[in-house]
Amino acid sequence: MRSKSGFKIMRREFNYMWRDRGLRKILLLGPILGLFLFMAIYQTQTVKDIPTAIVDLDGSSSSREISEKIKHAEHLKLRAYPQSYEDLEQSIRRGEIVVGVVIPENFGRDVARHHPTRVLVIVDSSNTVYATNASTAVLGVIRSISAEAGVKTLLARGMDPSQARKAFLTVDYREEGWFNPTLNYAYFLVLAMALNIWQQCCTMTASMNVIGETGMKSWLQVKASGVSRFKYFFSKSLAHLITFMLLVIPVYILALGIFKLPLSCGLGMLLLFTLVFAVSLHSVGTLMSSLANNAVDSTRFGMMVALPSFVLCGYTWPIEAMPGFLQSLVWILPQTWFFQGFNYLSFKDPGWSFMLPYFGGLLVISLVCYSMAAMATAWMER
C-alpha cells in the first residue's frame, strides 16, 4: 500500500506540472529553443569584418604599404582613414571603430634608415569577444610587417637574400592553442547557455515544491490521508528530478549528436554529473519554497538565485578576477560547481579523481539544503 501511495503522489505531481500550460511550455521548449538560439548566434565561430581605421601621419610609401596589408587582412574591414588621433578616438568612443592603427610621422624615414619605429594599435576592449578576435587579427599583420622590415634591414647591410631570411628566422615563433585552438565560441558557450536556461527552469519549478502544497487548502487533505511528510515530498521530488532529466536529454542529443559540440568525457559521466546537479538545484529550490510565505515570494527567491548564477559561476568570467568577497561566496551556489566541472568534462576529461570534489560539493549543498528545508517546514507547521 505504501509503495502504491508513493506512485500515486508522483503521478499526481506529473499531472500538476503537465496541466500548468505556462510551466509545461517553459520546461519543454525553454532549453531547446535556447540551444537553437545560441547555436545560431555562435555558428560563425570567429568574428569577421572587424571595423578598422588607419591614421597615417606619415603618408610615405612605407606607410601606404602597411595600410594595404591591413586592408587585406582576413578578419579586419577597413572602414575609415581619420585625419588625426583625436578623430580616431571619437570614432572608437562612438562604437564605429573597434581597431585603430596609428602610423607615426617619419615612419618611412626611420624604416629607410633602419631605425626602430613603433606603430600604435588601439583595440576597443569593452567587448571581450571583439577584443580577442581583433587582437589576434592585428597581431598577425604586425608580425608579418615586422618580419619583412627585419629582412629588408639585413638586405640593406649587404647580406645575401637567402642568408638574410635564415638569419632573421633563426628563432622560430610558434603559438599553440590547446583544447579549443580555434577559439570557437560555439564550442565554449552554446551548450552552456542552453544548460543555463534549463537550470533556471528547474530552479523555478523546484521553488514550488513545498509552498505549492502547504500554501493550498488541499494540504489538509494530504495530512489527513496518513502519508508521512517524508514520503510525500520524496515522491514529489522524485517526479521533479525525473522530469528535469527527461528535459535535458534532448538538449544533449541535439548538442552532441546533431551540432557536434565537443564532449571529451564519456556520456555516462556527463549524465551522472547532470543528475547530481539537478538534485542540488532541486534542494535549493525546495529550501526557498519552505521559507516562502506564498508562491509569489518563492518564485521571486528562485529568480534571485537562478538568473545571476551563470554570471557568478565563473564560466564566462574568471572567479579569480572577481572581487575578493565574491571569490569564496560563489562556491555556495551549485551552478559554480557544475559549470566549472562541465567545462573540464567538455574539453579535458580530467577523470573521476579530479571530478570527485565537484560531485562532493554538489552533494553537500543538496544535503544541507534538504535538511534545512525539512526543519523549516516542520517549524512552520508548528
pLDDT 10s digits, 128-155: 666 777 777 777 776 666 666 665 665 5
User: pLDDT of 347-357, one tens digit each?
Assistant: 888 889 999 99
Query: What is the pLDDT at residue 159?
Result: 61
Evaluate whether 210 touches 290 at the Cβ level (below 8 Å): yes
Q: How confident is the model at residue 227 (pLDDT cuts 50, 70, 90)?
A: low
Q: What is the dihedral of CA 203, 206, 211, 212, to 10 degrees?
A: 120
Report whether pLDDT(312) > 90: no
- The domain ranges of the chain are 2-42+193-381, 50-168
Average pLDDT, the chain: 79
Indicate the DSSP class of residue 104: P
Confidence of residue 169 (pLDDT cuts 50, 70, 90): very low
Helix segments in the chain, DSSP class H? 2-19, 21-42, 61-71, 85-93, 107-112, 128-156, 161-168, 185, 191-206, 211-214, 218-224, 229-252, 267-291, 295-312, 324-329, 334-347, 352-381
**168 has a pLDDT exceeding 60:** no
pLDDT at 164: 53
Q: What is the pLDDT of residues 329-378, one digit of tens each?
A: 889 999 999 999 999 999 888 889 999 999 999 999 999 999 998 887 77
Residue 337 in contact with residue 362, Cβ under 8 Å? yes
* pLDDT tens sequence across 118-127: 788 888 776 6
Q: How far apart are CA 340 and CA 282, in angstroms?
A: 19
pLDDT at 338: 96
* pLDDT at residue 374, rounded to an integer: 85
More confident residue, 112 or 316: 316
- The pLDDT, as a whole number, for residue 149 is 60
CATH of range 50-168; options 3.30.559.10, 3.40.605.10, 3.40.1710.10, 2.40.33.10? 3.40.1710.10
**What's the pLDDT tens digit per position in 35-55?**
775 565 455 556 677 889 999
- pLDDT value for 10: 76
